Amino acid sequence: MAATASEFLEHWRSSYVDAEARDLEQLDATIAECVEDAEEEGFSRDDLEKAAGGDLRRYIQRAIQKAGGE
């Protein structure tokens, strides 16, 4: 279990975006999955938004692009 939302988001990105090479067509579903998983760990959408620098959608979009799923 991550101690902070930032740690959660970093680990989640590594495990579910980088490792699975998702594509941008899955962006909305990927965000929803991330939020759901975070809530199960006790982090809110607001927590994730802050951890993502204020824009969770953009954070995950960039992560997908970096992972090669453009």
Q: What's the distance, Cα to Cα, between the start and end of the chain in Å?
A: 30
Per-residue pLDDT of 5-25, as tens digits, reads 999 999 999 999 988 888 899
Per-residue pLDDT of 28-67, as tens digits, reads 999 999 999 999 999 999 999 999 999 999 999 999 999 8
Residue 3 corresponds to which tokens in the numbers above? 């101690």
Sorted by sequence, the CB contacts under 8 Å of residue 18 that are 6+ apart come out as 63, 66, 67
